[in-house]
Amino acid sequence: MNRSTTVVFTGDSVTDCGRRDDPAGIGDGYVGLLAATEAFAAARIVNTGVGGDLTVDLAARWERDVLAHRPAVVSVLIGINDVWRRYDGTGRITTAEEYAATLRGMLARLDPGTRLVLVEPFALPVGPGQERWEAEDLGAKRAVVRDLAAGTGAAFVPAQQALIAAIDPAAGAAGLTADGVHPTARGHEVLARAWQAAMPGLQ
């Protein structure tokens, strides 16, 4: 990529990862790891992740935080808060159909020719009751992202599969995400490698 190439990473806290306390605005998660690679050395990296965001929150700021940057590449990781709210005491349920419609609406606004990367939301069963999330909610949302990637020609990052495959039996899933959702440093490394694998030969 050359210096005129803008890459926008957007989503929730997994993408945010302290970027607003970082003078470079990139944060210390998977975005920071990718930004440090040779493939991104000449690109302009923009991180607009916001911790706690639901998919509808991202849709509300899509113009300002994504389209306004006129990106050549857009990477989206959003949806785990739509799952989490079902179980955090608020009882807010976002159906897979609502999730899909919101994502489609955002993606339809990208300029033709924009390279798109869709990262599936993920969770590992670390906290109480999290083993239920996949069957009751998360699995359907992961399927939405996979299907949208196939339908739009976007690169698809199978984050859940990558994290599960990387679990160290000695450390367990908590070695990758202490609360089942937010990656540890090692979890971010796995996520960054999975992103790179989905975008081979990125120039």
Domains in the chain and their CATH numbers?
Answer: 6-198 (3.40.50.1110)
What's the sign of the alpha-carbon dihedral 170, 179, 130, 80?
negative
Digit-coded pLDDT (tens) for 34-50: 999 998 988 999 999 99
pLDDT reading at 4 higher than 80:
no
CA dist 108 and 125 (Å) reads 33
Residue 145 φ/ψ, nearest 5 degrees = -65, -45
Cα–Cα–Cα angle for 127, 137, 80, rounded to 5 degrees: 60
What pLDDT score was predicted for residue 89? Answer: 84
In the set 4, 168, 182, 188, the catalytic residue is 182
Residue 203 binned pLDDT confidence (cut-offs 50, 70, 90): low
**One-letter-per-residue 3-state SS of 59-119:** HHCHHHHCHHHCCCEEEEECCHHHHHCCCCCCCCCCCHHHHHHHHHHHHCCCCCCCEEEEE
What pLDDT score was predicted for residue 60? Answer: 98
| Count of other CB atoms within 10 angstroms of residue 46 | 20
pLDDT reading at 2 higher than 60:
no
Q: Is 69 a catalytic residue?
A: no
Q: Is 168:7 a contact under the CB 8 Å cutoff?
A: no
What pLDDT score was predicted for residue 108? Answer: 97
In the set 13, 53, 75, 82, the catalytic residue is 13
CA dist 156 and 151 (Å) reads 11
Q: Name residue 128's amino acid.
A: P
Q: What is the mean pLDDT of residues 193-197?
A: 97
pLDDT reading at 176 higher than 80:
yes
Question: Which residue would you say has higher pLDDT here, 128 or 134?
Answer: 134
Q: What is the mean pLDDT of residues 63-68?
A: 98
Residue 91 binned pLDDT confidence (cut-offs 50, 70, 90): confident
In the set 22, 57, 65, 179, the catalytic residue is 179
Digit-coded pLDDT (tens) for 104-127: 999 999 999 999 999 999 999 998
pLDDT reading at 54 higher than 80:
yes
CA dist 193 and 191 (Å) reads 5
Q: What is the mean pLDDT of residues 94-110?
A: 98
The three-class DSSP label of residue 81 is helix
What pLDDT score was predicted for residue 7? Answer: 97
Q: What is the mean pLDDT of residues 115-142?
A: 95
pLDDT reading at 62 higher than 90:
yes
* DSSP letter assigned to residue 163: H
Q: Among 115, 43, 26, which Cα is nearest to 75's?
A: 115
Q: What is the mean pLDDT of residues 158-184?
A: 96
Mean pLDDT value across the chain:
95
